[in-house]
Amino acid sequence: MSEQTTQNTFNSVNLISLVYNWRKQLIIVGCASAIISIIASFLITPKYKSEVIMFPTQTSSISKALLNENNTGKEDILKFGEEEEAEQMLQILNSDYIRSRICNKYKLMKHYDIDAKDKFRNTLLFKEYEENISFERTEFMSVKVTVMDKNPQMAADITNDIAALVDSVKNDMQHERARQGLKIVELALFAQRDYIKSIEDSLNKLRKLGINDYETQSQAFNEQYALAISKNNTAGIKSLEQKLDILSTYGGAYVSLREKLQHEINQLSIVKSKYEQARIDAEQSLTSKFIVNRAFKAEKKSYPIRWLIVTVSVFSSLILALLAILLIENIKDVKLSKA
């Protein structure tokens, strides 16, 4: 162990001695690297950063959130979304629809100096888009939209437009499905109304036969029939027998249709309620996000960071120069040993 420590100390001393002997060359390399990196950093086009931070909402159905009597609070329109909603928002932000809208509105192909006749123009455009526009979920379950651009005002405008398009994309998708649901419920509503109308028509035919209230009429006719028999009223007995015969023949159907009518009217009320909910979901919209910070025109550039470029460049060049010096010295030692 003592021998190894001595060896390490010797190597460290040799390295320090080597750096000292080559100090002029290293200083020249460091200065040259600093000058070149400074010039290069000024040739890089500066970019400005704009950000929007937003929380997704948890509400997906307006009618359930506002009109449902059995709402347990899960559909609260004021409640922030969680991980699932944040992931859904990220998928929407990465959609082709938003990318196409932004590229077309701001003419990004021309803005990024991409030749419109290039065979791979779309590939180049999408690559530039992904390099300058990014989306990420924060640790607080919010979503951050970041845009870098050489034009600070355009960076802010693109960021705010992307945030606004989230509502458009989500509402379009939900409305398309809601309209399909509305059509289904509408057909069910019309069919229910037609069915009720057919029951009412059947009841009207029975009413024309003289059946208006089976229970009341049956009781009254039986009382009058008994009274007519006790008075030996032949004409009355014959008339009441005809009425009782009609009641006995059609009374059961009347009661059945009457109860069925009431049941179907109750069902119509349920279907109508669902129709109103579906209509609201198909026609109305709510924002799907809470904006925490809106983007604004940046006053200072965010890229490039010149001091970092110079520091990394100088450090890297010195390391490479030191490796080259070690190689040269090792070659010298090999030649001396052979000599």
pLDDT in tens, 179-194: 888 899 999 999 999 9
- The pLDDT, as a whole number, for residue 61 is 67
Q: Is 57 helix (H, G, I), strand (E, B) or coil?
A: strand
**Coil/strand/helix, residue 120:** coil
Q: How many secondary structure helices (H) and strands (E) does the chain include?
A: 11, 4
Q: Measured between alpha carbons, how far is residue 103 from residues 127, 128, 157, 161, 274 in Å?
A: 12, 11, 13, 11, 41
Residue 222 in domain: yes
Residues in the chain with pLDDT values less than 70: 1-15, 41-44, 59-77, 214, 221, 225, 302-307, 339
- Alpha helices, DSSP H, located in 147-285: 152-208, 214-230, 234-283
Task: Locate 189 and state its tokens.
Answer: 């509503």
Structural domain contains residue 329 = no
pLDDT at 197: 93
Q: Is residue 293 within 8 Å of residue 49, measured between CB atoms?
A: no
Query: Among residues 78, 193, 184, 93, which one has the least CA distance to residue 144?
Result: 93
Residue 224 inside a domain? The answer is: yes
Q: Which pLDDT tens digit goes with each residue over 30-72?
A: 788 878 877 776 666 778 899 999 998 876 666 666 666 555 5
229 assigned to some structural domain: yes
Closest CA to 19 of 338, 337, 319: 319
Q: How many domains does one find in the chain?
A: 1
Which three-class secondary structure state does DSSP give residue 176? helix
Beta-bridged to residue 47, according to DSSP, are 303
pLDDT at 28: 84
What pLDDT is attached to residue 68? 63
Given phi > 0 = left and psi -120 to 50 = alpha, else beta, which region is 232?
Answer: left
Q: Is 274 contained in some domain?
A: yes
pLDDT given at position 46: 79
> What pLDDT, on a 0 to 100 scale, did the predictor assign at position 208?
82
Ordered DSSP codes for 122-153: HHHHHHHHHHHEEEEE-TTS-EEEEEEESSHH
Residue with tokens 């057909």: 187
Tens of pLDDT, residue by residue over 28-40, are 887 888 788 777 7
- Determine, yes or no, domain membership for 54: no
The boundaries of the domain holding residue 256 are 187-283
Residue 308: inside a domain: no
Parallel, antiparallel or unpaired: strands 143-149 and 289-293: unpaired
Residue 96 lies in a domain: no
Would the pTM of this model clear 0.75, i.e. be above it?
A: no
Residue 67: per-residue pLDDT: 62
